[in-house]
Amino acid sequence: MTHTHPDDAPELTAEMMKTFKRVDPDSPLGKAMRGRPKSSNPKQPVTIRLDADIVAHFKAGGKGWQTRINDALHKVIAK
């Protein structure tokens, strides 16, 4: 894949600007362009106090430690 430098882009002319269309931010296109898609099951932020050895165990696995705690709790409630 080749990448061009932003400085290599053509200058915008008045004619080009006339062809641009304003996007209504409330339209589906405008909403689709902002941020991540809404989750059907969003995470809920909470504060929880855990023993240091529990946190150390999950953090030792690297990035994603909070997700691993979430997965472990799912296994507990699935029993």
Q: What is the pLDDT of residues 35-57, one digit of tens each?
A: 777 888 899 999 999 999 999 99
| Confidence tier at 69 by pLDDT (50, 70, 90) | very high
Cα torsion 75, 45, 58, 48: sign: negative
Q: Between helices 52-59 and 65-78, what is the axis angle to 10°?
A: 110
d(CA 61, CA 69): 11
Q: Give me the pLDDT at residue 31, please.
A: 66
Q: What mean pLDDT value characterizes the chain?
A: 87
Q: Which residue has the higher pLDDT, 3 or 19?
A: 19
Q: Give me the pLDDT at residue 27, please.
A: 78
pTM over 0.75: no
